[in-house]
Chains A and B, each alone.
Chain A
Amino acid sequence: MSFLDQHLLSSLILLPLLAAVVVALLPRESVGLQKLVALVSSAAVFLVSLKLLGGFQATAAMQFKETLPWLPEYGIAYRLGIDGISLWLVLLTTFLTPLCLLGSWQGIEHRQKEFGVFMLLLEAGMIGVFCALDLFLFYIFWEAMLIPMYFLIGIWGHERRIYAAVKFFLYTMAGSVLMLVAFLVLYRESGLRTFELAVLAQSPVPPALQAWLFAAFALAFAIKVPMFPFHTWLPDAHVEAPTAGSVILAGVLLKMGGYGFLRLAIPLFPQAALDFGPWIGLLAVIGVVYGALVSLVQPDLKKLVAYSSVSHLGFVMLGVAAFSTVSVTGAVYQMLNHGISTGALFFMVGMLYERRHTRLIGEFGGLKNVIPWYAAIFLMVCLSSIAVPGFNGFVGEFLILLGSWSYDWRLVAAASLGVILAAAYVLWMVKRVLYGEVTNPKNEGLRDLSARELCVLVPLVALALFMGVASPLFTRTIEPAVAGLVEQVRAQQQGAPSAAQAPVTAPAPGAVAEGH
Chain B
Amino acid sequence: MEDPLLNQLPFLVLLLPLVGFAVLALFGDAIRDEETEARKSGGQGLAFRLRAEGTRGAMLIACVMAIGSFALAAWSVARLLALPADARFYQPSLTFDWISVAGFTVPMGLLLDPLSSVMILVVSGIGSLIHVYSVGYMGHDPERVRYFSYLNLFLFFMLLLVLGGSLPLMFVGWEGVGLCSYLLIGFWFKKESASAAGMKAFVVNRVGDAGLILGMILAFSALGSVDLLELRLGAEGLAPEAFGAFGPVTWVCLLLFVGACGKSAQIPLHVWLPDAMEGPTPVSALIHAATMVTAGVYLVSRLSPLFALSETALAVVAVVGTATALMAATIALVQTDIKKVLAYSTVSQLGYMFLACGVGAFWVAIFHLFTHAFFKALLFLGSGSVIHAMSGEQDMRQMGGLRSKIPWTYWTFLVGTLAIAGIPPLAGFYSKDAILLGAWGAHKPVLFGVGLATALLTAFYMSRLLFLTFFGRFRGSHEAEHHVHESPASMLVPLVVLALGSVVTGWGWERLHMGEALNLVLAHAEGHGAHPSWLPVLATLAAVVGIVAAWYAYVMSPEIPGRVSAAARGLQRVLEEKWGFDLAFDWFAARVVVGGSESALWKRFDAGLIDGTVNGLGRFVDAWGRATRGLQTGLLRGYALLIFGGAVLLLSYLLWIRPA
A492 to B7 alpha-carbon distance, docked (Å): 49
**Are B601 and A389 in touch, CB under 8 angstroms?**
no
Nearest-Cβ distance from residue B655 to partner chain A, whole angstroms:
38
- In the assembled complex, the Cα of A513 lies from the Cα of B610 at a distance in Å of 40
CB pair B611–A232 under 8 Å, yes or no, is yes
Instruction: Tell whether, in the assembled complex, residue A330 and residue B101 are in contact, meaning their CB atoms are under 8 Å apart.
Output: yes
Cβ-based interface call for A198 (8 A): no
Segment with Cβ contacts to A, from B195-203, B342-350, B483-491? B195-203
Q: Is the CB of B203 within 8 A of A423?
A: yes
Q: Is there an interface contact between B214 and A412, defined as CB atoms closer than 8 Å?
A: yes
Return the chain B residue nearest A483 by Cβ. B102
A175 at interface by CB-CB < 8 Å: no
A513 to B219, CA, bound (A): 9
Question: Quick check: A508 and B218 within 8 Å, CB to CB?
Answer: yes
Please report whether the interface of chain B is mostly helix, strand, loop or mixed according to DSSP. Answer: helix
Chain B minimum-CB-distance residue to A399: B101
Known: A399-B99, A508-B222. A419 touches B206 (CB 8 A): yes
Q: Which residues of A420-468 are within 8 A (CB) of B? A: 420, 423-424, 427-428, 430-431, 434-437
**Of the candidates B176, B189, B248, which one forms a contact with A507 in the assembled complex, judged by CB atoms under 8 Å apart?**
B248
Q: For A406, give its contact among B176, B213, B221 (CB under 8 Å).
A: B221
A508 and B97 alpha carbons, distance in the complex (Å): 28
Q: Are A516 and B594 in contact (CB under 8 A)?
A: no
- Asked if residues B247 and A507 are in contact (CB atoms below 8 Å), the reply is yes
Query: In the complex, which residues 363-406 of chain A have their Cβ closer than 8 Å to any Cβ of chain B?
Result: 366, 368-369, 372-373, 383, 388-390, 394-395, 398-399, 401-402, 405-406
CB-nearest residue of chain B relative to A366?
Answer: B190
Are A401 and B217 within 8 A (Cβ)? Answer: yes
Contact with A along B113-140 (1 / 0, CB 8 A): 0000000000000000000000000000
**Are B239 and A510 in touch, CB under 8 angstroms?**
yes
**Does B311 sit within 8 A of A, measured CB to CB?**
no
Contact (A435, B186) CB under 8 Å given A419-B209, A514-B103: yes
Chain A, residues 4-44, CB within 8 Å of chain B (1/0): the string is 00000000000000000000000000000000000000000
Known: A427-B182, A515-B102. A509 touches B206 (CB 8 A): no
Which residues of A are found within 8 Å of B96, using beta-carbon distances? 470, 472
- Using Cβ atoms and an 8 Å threshold, which residues of chain A touch B186? 431, 435
| Inter-chain contacts of B211 with A (CB < 8 A) | 416
- Does B179 sit within 8 A of A, measured CB to CB? yes
Q: Is A471 on the interface with B (CB-CB < 8 A)?
A: yes
Residues of A with C-beta under 8 A to B224: 511-513, 516
**B564 → A minimal CB distance (Å):** 40
Q: Contacts A398-B168, A431-B195, A471-B99 given; indicate if A389 touches B175 (C-beta within 8 A).
A: yes
Chain A residues near B202 (CB, 8 Å)?
423, 427
Contact B195 A388 (CB under 8 A): no
What is the number of residues of chain A that contact chain B, defined by CB distance less than 8 Å? 70
B598 in contact (CB, < 8 A): yes
Which chain B residues border A173 with CB–CB below 8 Å?
none
In contact, A476 and B100 (Cβ under 8 angstroms): yes
Residues of B within 8 A of A383 (CB): 179
B220 at the interface (CB under 8 A from A): yes
B535 at the interface (CB under 8 A from A): no
Q: Which residues of B contact A431 (CB under 8 A)?
A: 186, 195-196, 198-199
Q: Does the CB pair B222–A472 fall under 8 Å? A: no
A479 proximal to B (CB < 8 A):
yes
| Bound: A383/B179 CA distance, A | 9
14 pairs, CB–CB < 8 Å, chain A vs chain B:
A167-B614, A232-B614, A294-B597, A297-B601, A389-B168, A389-B175, A399-B99, A424-B206, A431-B195, A475-B100, A479-B101, A505-B218, A508-B218, A508-B247
Given contacts A395-B99, A398-B217, A511-B248, 15 further A-B contacts (CB under 8 A): A232-B614, A293-B596, A388-B179, A389-B168, A399-B99, A413-B214, A416-B213, A427-B202, A428-B199, A434-B189, A435-B192, A503-B221, A508-B248, A508-B251, A513-B103
User: Which residues of B does A touch, CB under 8 Å?
Assistant: 29, 32, 96-104, 168, 171-172, 175-176, 179, 182, 186, 189-192, 195-196, 198-199, 202-203, 206-207, 209-211, 213-214, 216-218, 220-222, 224, 238-239, 241-242, 246-248, 251, 593-594, 596-598, 601-602, 606, 610-611, 614, 618
Q: Rank and list the top 9 A-B pairs by shortest CB-CB distance, nearest first.
A: A508-B248, A508-B222, A435-B195, A297-B598, A435-B189, A513-B221, A293-B597, A416-B210, A325-B102
